[in-house]
Amino acid sequence: MTPVCKTKSDPLRIGDCSFPGNVGLAPMAGVTDLPFRRLCRRLGAAICPSEMITSDTRLWNSRKSRYRLDHGGEPDPIMVQIAGAEPGMMAEAAIRSVDLGAQIIDINMGCPAKKVCNRAAGSALLRDEALVAAILETVVSAVRVPVTLKIRTGWDRRRRNGIRIARIAEECGVAALSVHGRTRADRFAGEAEYRTIRRIKASVGIPVLANGDIDSPAKAASVMAVTGADGLLIGRAAQGRPWIFREVSHYLQNGTEIAPPTAAEVRDIMLAHLDSLYSFYGEFTGVRVARKHLSWYCRSRPGAEAFRHSAVRAESAAKQLRLVREFFDQTPPEELAA
């Protein structure tokens, strides 16, 4: 089948779960925690899978896992990503996740990190199609909520088996697929393979979401047109720019760009984000998690280097918040353009 070129930001349906649009946040370990997901949803992201959680439920009592399993105040549908390589453990993790509120289970077969692949999980699974099928069949049969799958185009450029994996997924009852347009060996180097995503989309009848290098409304429209995908996931471009989701959704729906956020709105977004981090993690950890977000918010702002240097070294919530307010109060508006 040939995919229809899509540019609209239409609502997406996965199984019996409906989303308000089709542009979402790609899951990123150490980034897409609950405070960031809630912020992105408020700023237009329709889909926000959780950070991946290990399938070894014996480790779920760790502090890191407890944070990742917290979905308090998160809008429906709650989508939890699990990672592992043993079918029975993956099924148990899926069942436990549903018991804790998950309405969609997302299986990670796309992470290129060595510490994940060295355990034969994440994108390492793409080398073993029989194991892929066993995991998917076991998890799909274990839960009564939709199961989705995140993959790459293959293990390396000589072994691009994304089409076969997609067909296996559909045959196993997976409800939707998201594809990062690179192989595991590529990690984040080079350009995303949108035409490979197009071929994967054409090979199955389930929804396919495209991911990789989407960093502007125009790029989003181009990716939708080239891939024929049913939706998009945005990862690194949302770091420090969470309003990208409303910009992209508006452009896909109307073909026009909306004005960037004002300096005052960016300030308020930053302050609200920091407050949510402190509330979620407690001040000590929240201040330290906030540092990377402050660096990302400053990344494209002229004159922000001195502020960033001070903010990422602040040891208290009060100082981080004060530095943000002072930066916006003391910097001329023309220098704060997003």
Catalytic residues: 111
Q: Hey, is 16 helix, strand or coil?
A: coil
Residue 67 — left, alpha, or beta (φ > 0 → left; ψ -120 to 50 → alpha)? alpha
Q: Are 31 and 113 in contact (CB under 8 A)?
A: no
Q: Is 146 exposed, middle or buried (0-12, 13-18, 19+ CB in 10 A)?
A: buried
* Residue 238 CB-half CA count within 13 A: 30
Tell me how far apart the alpha carbons of residues 327 and 273 are, in angstroms, rounded to a whole number: 16
Q: How do beta strands 208-211 and 176-180 pair?
A: parallel
| Residues 6 or more apart in contact with residue 283 via CB below 8 angstroms | 316, 317
Tell me how far apart the alpha carbons of residues 326 and 323 are, in angstroms, rounded to a whole number: 5
